């Protein structure tokens, strides 16, 4: 006797599948990623072998997200992240965790950056879904540390030459701007800067992921940002103040 899948109950909303484009020059890595994503319930709509191909496929297929490698021949992933991010969400996935590379990718428009070896299948699928939904901008711990390192490196070196020497000001430093975050939000922000995922933050603080997401939404609103990378950059300038 032939059977058919049960139809969804009347009035039940069916979420459309998340459509992903995978861009990596290594065919073995591509095949592995496709298998993992599809096993996690995501739909892989296409594959690309380099940055230029990824841009072309993103324009043609209009996926919900492009999973983009960094080191590819011809047009690399960081270069491709700019034009692709104008079309859809970009999640970098690479072995490269150099601060300048991670920082460049985030500045180019990538919504998140995962480093191979620092996540499992569940985390990868969760990162894709959260990025598409706009509830998270995932950074692997190594990528989070790299962003912080890049921000420190790019910070202004000090006063202009005509200003008094820095040591002359040390006895009376300018007060740090007040931090707009509560103590709990500051704790969450500290863990974000370390590259922890929402689930890892929840386990660290013994709270639910739903509560973590609420904290992050308030943090983004208070800091006037939309991504984790931008939040880290903004927070580094205010973290010296006292929380409430």
Domain that holds residue 183: 177-244
| Residue 88 belongs to some domain of the structure | yes
Domain end marker among 138, 169, 197:
138
**Is residue 23 in a domain?**
yes
Question: How far apart are the C-alpha atoms of 34 and 42, rounded to whole Å?
Answer: 9
78, 113, 138 — which closes off a domain? 138
| CA angle, 114 then 45 then 11, to 5° | 100
Q: Alpha-carbon distance 72 to 141, whole Å?
A: 23
- Tens of each residue's pLDDT in the chain, 244 residues: 444 444 555 554 556 789 999 999 999 888 988 998 998 899 999 999 999 999 999 999 999 999 999 989 899 999 999 999 999 999 998 888 777 888 888 888 888 888 877 777 888 888 898 888 876 666 666 666 666 665 555 555 444 433 333 323 333 333 334 457 788 888 888 788 777 778 888 888 888 888 888 888 888 888 887 777 777 767 665 554 434 3
Give me the CATH number covering residue 34. Answer: 3.40.50.2300
pTM for the model stands at 0.60
Give the CA angle between residues 160, 165, 169 to the nearest 5°.
110
> Do residues 190 and 81 share a domain?
no
Domain CATH for 226:
1.10.10.10
Angle between helices 228-236 and 183-193 (to 10 degrees): 120
* Residue 5 domain-assigned (yes or no): no
With a CB cutoff of 8 Å and minimum separation 6, the contacts of 74 are 50, 51, 52
- Total count of domains within the chain: 2
pLDDT tens-place string over residues 103-139: 888 888 888 888 877 777 888 888 898 888 876 666 6
3-state helix, strand, coil in the chain (%, to 5): 50, 10, 40
Q: Is the dihedral of CA 43, 48, 53, 55 positive or negative?
A: positive
Helix H or strand E encompassing 99:
helix 99-108
Q: 63 and 112 in contact (C-beta within 8 Å)?
A: no
């Amino acid at each position: 006797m032939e059977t058919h899948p049960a139809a969804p109950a009347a009035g039940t909303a069916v979420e459309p599948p998340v459509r992903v484009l995978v861009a990596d020059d290594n065919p073995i890595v591509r095949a592995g990623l496709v298998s993992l994503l599809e096993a996690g319930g995501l739909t892989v709509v296409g594959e690309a072998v380099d940055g230029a191909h990824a841009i072309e496929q993103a324009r043609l297929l209009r996926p919900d997200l492009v999973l983009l490698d960094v080191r590819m021949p011809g047009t690399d992933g960081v270069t491709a992240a700019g034009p692709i991010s104008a079309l859809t969400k970009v999640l970098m996935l690479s072995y490269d965790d150099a601060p300048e590379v991670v920082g460049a990718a985030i500045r180019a428009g990538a919504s998140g950056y995962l480093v191979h070896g620092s996540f499992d299948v569940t985390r990868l699928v969760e990162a894709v879904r959260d990025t598409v939904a706009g509830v998270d901008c995932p950074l692997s711990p190594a990528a989070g540390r790299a962003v912080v390192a890049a921000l420190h490196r790019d910070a202004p070196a000090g006063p202009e030459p005509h200003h008094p020497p820095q040591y002359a000001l040390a006895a009376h430093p300018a007060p740090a701007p007040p931090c707009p975050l509560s103590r709990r939000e500051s704790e969450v922000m500290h863990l974000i800067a370390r590259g922890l995922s929402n689930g890892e933050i929840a386990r660290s603080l013994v709270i639910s992921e739903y509560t973590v997401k609420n904290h992050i939404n308030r943090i983004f609103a208070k800091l006037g940002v939309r991504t984790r990378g931008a939040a880290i950059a903004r927070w580094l300038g205010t973290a010296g103040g006292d929380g409430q």
